[in-house]
Chains A and B, each alone.
Chain A
Amino acid sequence: MAIDGLIVLDNTGRPIIQSGFRLATAAYPLLHIDAFNTAVLKSQRAGDIEPVIYVAPFNVSDPPTACCHVECGDIRILAPVSGDVDPLFAFAFLQTFIDILREYFGTISAATLKDNFDVVYQLLEETLDSGGHPLTTSPNALRDIVLPPSLLSKLLNVAGANITSAINSGSGLGAAGGPFSSPIPWRKAGLKYNSNEIYFDMVEELKAIVNKHGTTLSSSVWGKIETNAKLSGTPDCLLTFTNPHVITDCAFHPCVRLQRVKRDSAMSFVPPDGHFTLAEYRFTPSASATSARFQAAGATSSVLAKENVPIPFLLKSTVELTESGGTFEFILTSRMPSQTLESIVAEMYIGEGAGGVKCVAARGDGGNMGRRGMPDSSSGSSTGSWAFDAKKMVVRWEIPAAPPSSVWSLRGSFSSSSVVRPAHALQVRFAVSSYTFSALKVDQLKVTGEVYKPYKGVRGRATGNIEWRW
């Protein structure tokens, strides 16, 4: 009646690891793997398989089931579900499981999972009950019951020695200590740190669609407060903001006391140990405040722009398509007042059967600066660089750092053997460090309940993912 288990597939669709499926027939996981692989074969593009696949039963007498799946690195994780369950429940669990794997192994790949078979199996056992209930999903609590792999334990294992850690001996695991003894599910009891620190990273992402006239069609800024807490004991934190009104639609970590947020927009919480996301929010700009922070570089002060976050750059494009190919020219101008736009990546899909891509990336709007020859021979940092991904049919243009008001250009052409059908849009990603779109500012952080004074840090980071049509 819920998540029946998990199956991890490698990128060829072969199972690497799967949970026990003790309540189901042996054919059950195979049916799901097969249903998934069939769906992969049928889909034209890899990402286009519906996330919930209907799986017909093996016997006519069995009820049909469904298969939820997510991709993560070079592996796919399937979660067969039966009965009328909430698919979001399955996806939430899959996401949590991926987070746990990341927490344990750093990167997730078929290779790392194969190297750590034993740990993955233990994790599966601890996180998912055979009846389909998620058990322990907080990494804090998990670390108590499943030891993360470490070089030391591996060496000892090979040497045949026995690790006698607290977890094995059971010493000190009486009523006071041990797993789950803490009254707060997300925090271990009796934590001790030499230096007490807590850091807040405010990460905001601008997602926008801009039409060919440079008018923003839709834009939204999603923010996260990512926190890294290394605090001893059971501290009670109170985080206040100077301008809490700029954020709306907040979603909080369960540790945040909602009543307090409702009363005065302050976040009061006992933090989990280690990394966690304290809150997610959406930034809704008020008309005047934000546009004043940007240069009036572009004349895009339409009615729409008022309720949108201004895009921190301007892109001019000229694309001409012919029977057998096309030429394009993109000019990107930074509109940031003082910050540098970092790691700008612009991508354009040029259609099946295209090839023969030739480009020139330059700094400045062409004219005197351009024509430095092929970018792969010159140093990429001064001109930007380009590449053509023949597998995805994507032209990629990268600019490592664009100072304020700098102008960058990419000219090029491509040929096509079939009908020319490129995407009418450029996907542009960028990052700005020490900056947030919302300008959300932390007023102060009070830590009570403990005697020490923790070291506190707040950082902002902005990223953008913009579709600019031409």
Chain B
Amino acid sequence: MKYLQMGSSFLDDVSALIVGIGFVVWAENYELSVDLNSGYPEKRKDAIKRTIASMTVGKDTDDLEQKKLVYLYLMNYAKSQPELVILAVNTFVKDSDDPNPLVRALAIRTMGVLRAEKIIDYLCDPLQKCLRDENPYVRKTAALCVAKLYDLKPELVIENGFLEQLHDMISDSNPMVVANTVAALTDIHISASAQPSSSTSDPGIFNISASILNKFEHICERVVPQFQHVNGSVVLAAMKVIMIHIRGVRREELIKTLVRKMAPPLVTLLSAPPEVQWVALRNINLLLQKRPEILSSELRVFFCKYNDPLYVKIEKLDIMVRLASEHNVDPLLSELKEYASEVDVDFVRKSIKAIGQTAVKIDAAAERCVNVLLELIDTRVSYVVQEAVVVMKDIFRKYPATYEGIIPTLCANLDELDEPEAKASLIWIIGEYASKIDNADELLNIFVDTFAEESYAVQLQTLTAVRVLNTATNCDSPDVRDRAYIYWRLLSTDPGAAKAVVLSNRPPISIPRTTVAPALLEELLGELSSLSSVYHKPSETFTRLGPVGADSVQRKGTGEFPDEDQFSAKKALQTVAAGQQAENLLDFGDDLSMDGQPSGLAATQVLHQTPAAASLMSGMSSNPLDDLVSIFGNASVSPTPAVAASNPMAAFGGSGFGIAAPAATSPPLVQSPTQQQPQEDLLGLF
């Protein structure tokens, strides 16, 4: 529907165009202009026909502007009226001999653009002439025309020796001709190799330098002066050349000089209009991932102004965190705090996140960050508090048992949290530090009571913190249900093992130095200044057709991460092994003892003393495989004994609280091979 509307407005414009052209060109021919404006398509078509007819029979206009507009009109409508255009061929050929260079160029250009097979046959001779024209404007137009011809009929270009002629033209006396010839050659090169190459962009300088010179150092030195070019595109293209060739530079001091010289032009780009700034910032973000030292002393340049557009602010924020170091953390934090009081909610959240990232990145500054966060929590602005709580969780993970003192403050804000992520984070914190919080069970009970109403993320966290198994097994979300079952089985068979799984050491979190994989980063740096460096994705993903792009990325992925594949294969084998073990109930003890956990058999014997677990055990052993399936599959097929489900909390008493949750981000099943082991073996038990 939208397209239809757009379409009709476009049509309006077409007629507006005809009005424009019709008026100027045919001001003296009122009748024709009326027809051109006619609301009836037939009449309009007729008028067009007459326009072209008058051209072809030699009623040619000698006003260049009129001629131009008619040609323009022809170019625009050649697609819909090819048979009419062919009538005009004679005029084109005639015009390519006109004494006025503008007319010659116009004729050549129009013929090149029309893309009609029949016209092309007439194109070669005039083109040959125009390539050797005395006027540089005609020469450069002809050079570009060769590229277009190559696109349509490459064999014609080769037959006529146009390529050789273009090569000769690189040494033309006029720089405009040289630039356009290089552009034409690049185009031909691209369509010949049919590969996306990104350097069609600027003054050809780089293509030439890249093809003629092979020494890395030499190239770098030649390109550096281009940093002073006023055109940002040239500056970034120069950066790209440097980043590609710096890999081959061996002299340390030269690398240092080069890197030092890159900073000023990058900063200069930031004084440009916001659009250019944004592209520059995206590229700077990439550059910093490879060479963080480039702008290490320029943090202040990236401070956001209140009226910067949001997209610029967010990029700046990202770069500021990247540049954070012990030397500049104080101004950075006060700046971030300032942003947290801004109007735009998204930006506020992002800046609070940035505070957390800084804390995780710089150990020495963590305490100051926490203080800033506490100040922010004091503001009692709902979204600020919520985001601060989420960020706090990350800090707790990075620095366990360091900032327990602030937990009461966090808990005091419990009632204000209404977003799932914030709630989940707080529950995690409470669960983790349950032993230190006097009223932890009380607090958690609040969440248990409202369990059914919460969103899935909160449910998962509550689950790991307190195990509300009975409610959870009836839940709609398969994830929640699955985890509930796993915990339940774990707890009911072996609290010790369960503890090991849930309380296991989590891998310490850190801010990734790069947002993209190293190999991809290298590739992107080679594509600096192009669209892929803006999207931070390789060009295949958005220039090729969908499935092809996806395939190639996948290929790349497997090439880069063979470990991962092996790992998943191993995991699959383990699962199979575990399954086999499950069938062979008599063997289950052997494997478990290797884990250093209380041996499976011993644990089950202890469990037999509680009636609920006993019934569970007996239920299990009757049909182990079914239950395995039920854990990972659909709860409806589960033969879970109702006795056990009725009161899991009672079965394990207060100890349930002591067992706290794993990180929200990494559910226990996909943690690490070592943790995988006990878990799968335990499942094997059933």
Contact = CB atoms under 8 A, between A and B. Distances in A.
Interface of A: 1-2, 14-18, 20, 22-23, 27, 29-30, 33-34, 45, 47-52, 54, 60-64, 66, 68-70, 81-89, 91-92, 95, 114, 117-118, 121-122, 125, 129-133, 135-136, 145, 147, 157-158, 160, 162-163, 167-170, 173-175, 178-181, 183, 185, 207, 209, 211, 217-218, 220, 222, 248-254, 258, 262, 277, 280, 282, 349, 351, 421-425, 427, 467, 469
A255 to B, nearest CB: 11
A124 B76 CA distance: 13
B7 A91 contact: no
Interface of B: 2-3, 6-7, 9-10, 13, 16-17, 20-21, 24, 27-28, 62-65, 68-69, 72, 75-76, 78-79, 98-103, 113, 115, 134-137, 140, 144, 147-148, 151, 173-176, 180, 183, 187, 190, 196, 198, 200-202, 225, 228-233, 235-237, 264-265, 267-268, 271, 273-276, 278-280, 300-301, 303, 305-307, 309-311, 331, 334-335, 338, 341-343, 527, 529-532, 534-535, 539, 542-546
The 7 closest A-B pairs by CB, nearest first: A170-B100, A117-B20, A218-B300, A84-B539, A51-B275, A180-B137, A249-B264
A185 B176 contact: yes
Contacts of B278: 50-52
Contact of B147 (A131, A421, A469): A131
Contacts of A469: 338
A87 B543 CA distance: 14
Given A160-B27, A427-B307, A88 B9 contact: no
B190 A1 contact: yes
Given A131-B144, A131-B147, A95 B543 contact: no
Contact of A62 (B64, B231, B331, B545): B545
Nearest to A94: B275
B275 A282 contact: no
A271 to B, nearest CB: 15
B230 A185 contact: no
Nearest to A308: B300
Contacts of B98: 170
A422 B342 CA distance: 8
A122 B68 contact: yes
A186 to B, nearest CB: 10
Contact of A84 (B13, B151, B532): B532
Given A64-B542, A217-B300, A85 B65 contact: no
Contact of B534 (A52, A61, A69): A52
Given A83-B198, A118-B65, A130-B113, 4 more contacts: A173-B100, A217-B331, A252-B230, A277-B230
A178 B137 contact: yes
B202 A86 contact: yes
Contact of A180 (B174, B267, B274, B343): B174
Given A51-B275, A118-B21, A160-B27, A133 B228 contact: no
A88 B280 contact: yes
A70 B275 contact: yes
Contacts of B228: 250-252, 258
Given A89-B201, A91-B276, A467-B306, A30 B99 contact: no
A85 B186 CA distance: 13
A84 B279 contact: no
Contacts of B229: 251-252, 254
A84 B3 contact: no
B303 A218 contact: yes
B9 A251 contact: no
B109 to A, nearest CB: 8
B136 A180 contact: yes
Contacts of A254: 229-230
A175 B17 contact: no
A256 B507 CA distance: 57
B438 to A, nearest CB: 35
6 contacts: A83-B539, A121-B21, A135-B144, A217-B331, A251-B230, A282-B264
Contacts of B532: 84
Contact of B279 (A88, A125, A174, A277): A88
Contacts of A95: 273
Nearest to B71: A125
A178 B101 contact: yes
Contact of A118 (B24, B103, B135, B331): B24
A62 B542 CA distance: 10
A391 B66 CA distance: 45
B59 to A, nearest CB: 15
Contact of A167 (B102, B176, B225): B102
Nearest to A169: B100
Contacts of A89: 201-202, 233
